[in-house]
Structure 1
Amino acid sequence: MAGTKKARPDLALIPMLPHETLYIGVDVGKFRHVAGFLSRTLLQRHERFEGCPAFAFEQSREGFRALVDRIREYVPLEQATVLIEHTGHYHKNLEQYLLELDITVYRIHVQERPKGMTKTDKRDALNLANRLYTQLELGAQVEEKLQLVRRTVPPTQAAMQLRGFMQHRDALSHQRTQLRNKLTAICDELFPEFTQIFHDPNLAVALAFREKFPTPHDIATASLSALRETRVQYFPSETNLLRLQQLSRETIGITNVDRLRGMKVEQELLIKELRLVQEHLERLDAEIADIVKTCREGQILLSMPPIGPVQAATIIATIGHINNFEKAAELKSYFGWAPRREQTGVSFDRTKLAQGGVRSVKQMLYLMAVRATTLDCEWARIYRRLLPRMATYDDRIKEYRGPSRLRTIEKKS
């Protein structure tokens, strides 16, 4: 009859195939996640992936159990595959929980949403499930590698131990730099001539003098014996101690009484904070060195001349497990050392490093490369061979100049 809708079959009764894979995309949030479910049968039942079912659950053990129970309603756990976006650290608890249950987990970089698309957590979750389905089930290829899903392999025991250590060490290193910069600024305002005797005003012996004699007036009025007791062995020398007193009498530093009082208190507290941070860093470095020297991957990395315990720990903690990378090119790209070439006919041809990669590892690898050029190793010999071709020799300073701005090892040899 015209005007009547065609009756549709009851697709809810169609069972899933016995060995069918269920693809699950999880939109990660701080307190609440949303999982989208997709499979061949679900697509047949709902016709469009946006119409497939979704499930919201809390960031808690009860929420994780509810997700697993919902998965079991569709398929056994061994037939489930989950895709999670790496968004900060909120995904890590869920990822660990799923891996402990031997559920296959894939990861993907945070995806840029097309402009004009409606944003909902359900849609984001189903988009992830659809991306996983098209790449694994249908074998679809992607243009950008950032859109590629990669299987997550549980980190090694050493990586698990080092990950937290390296994050805390990185935070302490930044804090130490900030404290040193503040102490240097106080020295420049309070007693700028201090650096004529102590090149680095934040060395241990310099801090000892600044703590015991916080102002130039305290140094000028101190006895020579008191200054001798503060120095380390014979540094500074007797002559420099007398010069330090002379500089303190003629300093151009600030003389306002109120400002001096505030700077004295601030300097005292900063010195104590700096020593505490340095003590914690020394403890962390000892723990890190012990872990690296006893694990297999650490021993392999330490066998390479430019790599020390901290550099090896950074690599191990960042990688997690080497099986996360199928090819060496993927590892290089993850570290930010993959070349990117731009070419147009014969008029334009340029190659440079890609802008991506883990920043801390990228910086660390650069410093390791600089260090390698100063050692007696194969990398240094390659550097010597390439230097005349890749850099310009400056007759005035008697060394090479190049875009990397590295010192030549010819000068040191």
Structure 2
Amino acid sequence: MTKRSALQAIPQLLQEPVFVGIDVGKSKHVAGFVSSTLLQRHQRFEGCPALAFENSREGFRILIERMQTLAPLEHCTVLMEKTGHYHRALLQYLQEFDIAVYVMHVQERPKGMMKTDKRDALGLANHLYNQLALGIQLADKTQLVRRTIPATPAAAQLKGLIRHRYELVGEATRRKNKLIAICDELFPEMTKVLKNPNSLTALTLRERFPTPAALATASMGSLLEIRGKAYVLSDAKLAELQHLAARSIGVRDLIRQRGLVLEQTQLIKELRLHQEHIEQLEHEIKLIVEQAREGKILASMGIGPIQVATIMATIGNIENFPNAGSLKSYFGWAPTVAQSGKTLDWTGQTRGGLRTIKQMMFLVVAHVIKQDSQWAQLYERLVQAKYPYDERRGVRVGRLRVFGRVAGQMIETMYALLKLDAEVLSKVPNGQDPPAPTLYDPELHRRHREGHYQPLKSSPHPAVITLLPPISSE
């Protein structure tokens, strides 16, 4: 039987789930198709059919048409690896057809195995078939497949904004470090008067008078004009700054000085541009957070708008996480245990998780424990109970370890509130306004800590069986 006749016979045979694995590339993808019937026909998954298609709308259409020749789209399930951003357009296209899409981490190929795009795609399809159809359990969690549910509109919009802001903050920090280094070489005495050489007043002075000689010979009127109405520097401080500039030990080589001045001028302009863009992004981010239901829920826990936006963008859709433990692991704040016999017994924090949200959660915990909140009381109680007081240093040793406990409980609370809100929204009929979201209640949290726990979900009443009296025979 030819390949064409075999494919023509497939639609009459495949009235069963079809599992599609897609090897993602930059300009071209390869899809492999596996099912029980295809495995019986071809004996091994490497012999099952495959399709190469372009990374374009026309290529995506060809993929959909091939899937429809094998089985109805509602019977098709797709698996892709997380390979940068190349899979996102295809993922969105498939979800528009309500096709179940699963993702997994990029897997390391065993050494000595033949490598082709077709084999990789069919291997993914077979991996999906083993887990979903056969129910094979895997010890390595990195090989688990997870279904991807589209992010909420607010989270989808925040994802790019938060990432761009993170990059701009990094670029601005690098320019600040360079400007500090140039100040240390040109005019190191400046920090005696202006502690921050990158403040608004300091940058204006450095831009107007780039060298100590120019600052020392400047008129007091021009200095007062730069100071403006903010009055950051008094007249005495300005006079002291000129006195230090006249006796500066900064570089005197004119050639080197000229190069530093040019670099400093460009860095100041670049820094101001980055700061302007960061301010615009933060304004837009705050508006989105204030209007989103998830933003209102997370903000009620005492978290700032930028931190709330980062958490929302990272989660995407709470339905992607089956339990609070998976969310903690994704955030990088899940505990890890190493135990073997009597010689190895160790508990610590996982090294996985996303670096950005892991750092952000540390800042969130550092902020909430300084407030009058239940989180601060939990932190103080654990520190006093578990870590000794160092009289020489005047602090308790090991306080930072409690951050993991507080962060874990905060993530569990986030998960419970967001999951409850998602379930409420799923029950709202189309066209009807949803109820207000359930916010974090500090008083309810206090009662929970005192032992009066009440679950957020109302448990159904047990079925009551009423026994009727026996019917008299009389």
TM-score by length of 2: 0.81
- CA shift for structure 1 position 315: 1.1
| Pair 1:374 & 2:370 matched | yes
Q: How far, CA to CA, are the matches of 1:246 and 1:363 in structure 2? A: 43
The aligned residue for residue 303 of structure 1 is 300
Report if the CA contact (8 A) 2:20-2:78 is conserved. Answer: yes
The aligned residue for residue 148 of structure 1 is 144
Q: How far, CA to CA, are the matches of 1:141 and 1:390 in structure 2? A: 38
Q: 1:168-317 to 2 correspondence within 5 Å?
A: 168-232=164-228, 233-305=230-302, 307-317=303-313
Report if the CA contact (8 A) 1:342-1:348 is conserved. Answer: yes
The one of 74, 79, 83 equivalent to 1:83 is 79
The aligned residue for residue 130 of structure 2 is 134
Corresponding letter in the other structure for 1:292 = V
- CA shift for structure 1 position 115: 1.5
Report if the CA contact (8 A) 1:32-1:57 is conserved. Answer: yes
Q: How far, CA to CA, are the matches of 2:35 and 2:14 in structure 1? A: 12
Of stretches 144-153 and 381-390 in structure 1, the one that deviates more from structure 2 is 381-390
Report if the CA contact (8 A) 1:187-1:201 is conserved. Answer: yes
Corresponding letter in the other structure for 1:382 = L
- CA shift for structure 1 position 405: 8.7
Corresponding letter in the other structure for 1:363 = Q
| Pair 1:158 & 2:149 matched | no
Deviations 1:224-250 (A, max 9, x none): 232222225322222222221121122
User: Per the alignment, in what secondary structure is the counterpart of residue 348 of structure 2?
Assistant: strand
- CA shift for structure 1 position 223: 1.9
Of stretches 309-318 and 36-45 in structure 1, the one that deviates more from structure 2 is 309-318
The aligned residue for residue 389 of structure 2 is 393
| Pair 1:48 & 2:36 matched | no
| Pair 1:102 & 2:98 matched | yes
Report if the CA contact (8 A) 1:288-1:313 is conserved. Answer: yes
Over the aligned positions, Cα root-mean-square deviation in angstroms equals 1.8
Corresponding letter in the other structure for 2:77 = T
Report if the CA contact (8 A) 2:11-2:69 is conserved. Answer: no
- CA shift for structure 1 position 371: 1.1
Q: How far, CA to CA, are the matches of 1:390 and 1:220 in structure 2? A: 58
Report if the CA contact (8 A) 2:383-2:399 is conserved. Answer: no
Report if the CA contact (8 A) 1:15-1:41 is conserved. Answer: no
| Pair 1:347 & 2:343 matched | yes
Report if the CA contact (8 A) 1:16-1:41 is conserved. Answer: no
- CA shift for structure 1 position 18: 5.7
Q: How far, CA to CA, are the matches of 1:14 and 1:195 in structure 2? A: 77
Of stretches 45-54 and 222-231 in structure 1, the one that deviates more from structure 2 is 222-231
Structure 1 residues 112 and 224, CA, compared in 2 at 3 Å: closer, same or farther? Answer: same
Q: How far, CA to CA, are the matches of 1:367 and 1:27 in structure 2? A: 38
Structure 1 residues 401 and 240, CA, compared in 2 at 3 Å: closer, same or farther? Answer: farther
| Pair 1:332 & 2:324 matched | no
Q: How far, CA to CA, are the matches of 2:48 and 2:223 in structure 1? A: 79
The aligned residue for residue 412 of structure 2 is none
The one of 398, 401, 416 equivalent to 1:402 is 398
Corresponding letter in the other structure for 1:153 = I
In structure 1, runs of 5+ residues without a counterpart are 1-9, 408-413
- CA shift for structure 1 position 15: 5.9
- CA shift for structure 1 position 262: 1.4
- Large movers: runs of 4+ above 3 Å: 10-19, 389-392
TM-score by length of 1: 0.92
Q: Percent identity?
A: 55
Structure 1 residues 397 and 224, CA, compared in 2 at 3 Å: closer, same or farther? Answer: farther
Q: How many residues align?
A: 397
Report if the CA contact (8 A) 1:14-1:45 is conserved. Answer: no
Q: How far, CA to CA, are the matches of 2:315 and 2:207 in structure 1? A: 43
Q: How far, CA to CA, are the matches of 1:321 and 1:123 in structure 2? A: 32
The aligned residue for residue 410 of structure 1 is none
Structure 1 residues 209 and 22, CA, compared in 2 at 3 Å: closer, same or farther? Answer: same
- CA shift for structure 1 position 372: 1.5
